Chain A
Amino acid sequence: MAKTINNYFDELRSTRVWRSVFRSGTGSSTLHRALAVQQNVFLHLFSTKVRRRMVSFSTTWYLGTLTFGTFLILVITGILLMLYYHPSVPQAYADTKDLQFVVSSGMFLRNLHRWSAHAMVFLVFAHMFKVFYRGAYRPPREFNWVIGVVLLLITLLLSYTGYLLPWDQLAFWAITVGSNIASAVPVLGNRVHFLMLGGNQVNANALLRFYVLHCVILPLAAILFIAVHFWRIRKDGGLYSHQTEPKTIVAQTTPAAAALAKDPQ
């Protein structure tokens, strides 16, 4: 009798090491499967049980998950790019070119970072529209919509701060124009502009500030809000999915409409 792969997995699951890591116990009963989710530090944000309808493709088009997927790609490729990039005026542009033409797979990683960034902005908007048109923002999910708006802003700020880092003409003028928009804030405009750039013009301080925002502050804020966003799905009663229309509605309408509904031409 040859052992099946499942037998090997069962053996693995019953080892002492496995049991010390995963404490939910072996078995495929509903309780064990629920415990496997509930006792995992990452999965416990989610519901232990969901309706099949909620996780079907048509309900969400998986737009939130896809957005999170692009975020993970951006974190991984971003950390790798940081190994070759110096955020200083003499080096930044040359490092970007080195990443493209000298570093092995540098071009691939840089393009993956760039296209994922575009995809993330697109997917965040698509996710927002999907939630909006399905009415999934309504109570009790209204606070999760607000967190979503914060995440949209963080995404746009990540996109904006990352734009300066190649330190080319496009980057310089985009940030010059963008930071001048901040100057339009009543009374405090020039102060805000000065604090943002760490000076009066887009220069070494601005590059360093945008780098720290792009690589540390904004990603940490994003991770924090993403965690709350996921956790609130469970707390607000799971993913929103349409209830099927009750059939009694037809009977309650006028006889003519009911006849039309029964026998449409």
Chain B
Amino acid sequence: MSEEKRDTSSTPGKKTELDRRAFFVKLGLGSLSIAATGTAVFAYQFLSPNVLYEPSPIVNAGKPEGYPEDSVTLDVNSGIYLIHTREGFFALSAICTHLGCMTAWKPELGIIACPCHGSKFTREGIKTDGPAPRPLPWLRTWLSEDGDLMVDRSTTIRPMQFVRI
């Protein structure tokens, strides 16, 4: 028995062939890595909630008559601006593109300003000052069948697309 063992280990011509020990080591490492991958996938899926109890992204902003021309109205609860200009209505996200603070409309200066790190935006969302990397996004806005202004906070659109009534 010991004679045979010595024979196989010292045969130089059989290097490409897997011996039993190397085969089991490979099998063990292979199954361990499969198990580790499975654990990682399991952990990731477990930690990502499948159902979220968050408010709906679609907001009913009410009748257009509630917004006089040349006005900027912030809804603090939904984090959007409803803006009525001569060209029409549009909705702007009030969440600063820098680090997610809620911005505020400054009527005396005619700008949107972020209290956290001093970013400033025009009424159209264009950044004029501060660290914000992007302009405030325009949100998809439409008129419902009942005549209410609807805003979808999860869908951004290209700027300057007004809702005309």
Residues of chain A touching chain B, judged by Cβ–Cβ distance below 8 Å, are 173, 176-177, 179-181, 194-195, 198-201, 203-205
Contacts and interface: CB of A to CB of B under 8 A. Distances in A.
B54 A176 contact: no
The 8 closest A-B pairs by CB, nearest first: A180-B100, A177-B99, A180-B99, A176-B100, A199-B52, A195-B47, A198-B49, A199-B54
Contact of B101 (A173, A195, A198): A173
A177 B119 CA distance: 14
11 contacts: A173-B101, A176-B101, A179-B100, A180-B98, A180-B100, A195-B44, A199-B52, A199-B54, A203-B53, A205-B49, A205-B52
B9 interface: no
Contact of A200 (B52, B98, B99, B116): B52
B77 interface: no
Contacts of B101: 173, 176-177
Nearest to A203: B54
Given A173-B116, A204-B53, A198 B47 contact: yes
Interface residues of B, number: 12
Secondary structure at the A interface, as helix, strand, loop or mixed, is helix
Nearest to A197: B49
A177 B116 contact: yes
B48 interface: yes
Contacts of B100: 176-177, 179-180
Nearest to B100: A180
Nearest to A199: B52
Nearest to B53: A204
Contacts of B98: 180
Nearest to A175: B100
Contacts of A173: 101, 116
Interface in B11-69: 44, 47-49, 52-54
B49 A181 contact: no
Contacts of A179: 100
B99 A176 contact: yes
B76 to A, nearest CB: 12
Given A195-B48, A198-B47, A203-B54, 6 more contacts: A173-B116, A177-B99, A194-B48, A201-B54, A203-B53, A205-B52
A199 B99 contact: no
A198 B44 CA distance: 11
Interface string B81-105: 0000000000000000011110000
A194 B99 CA distance: 15
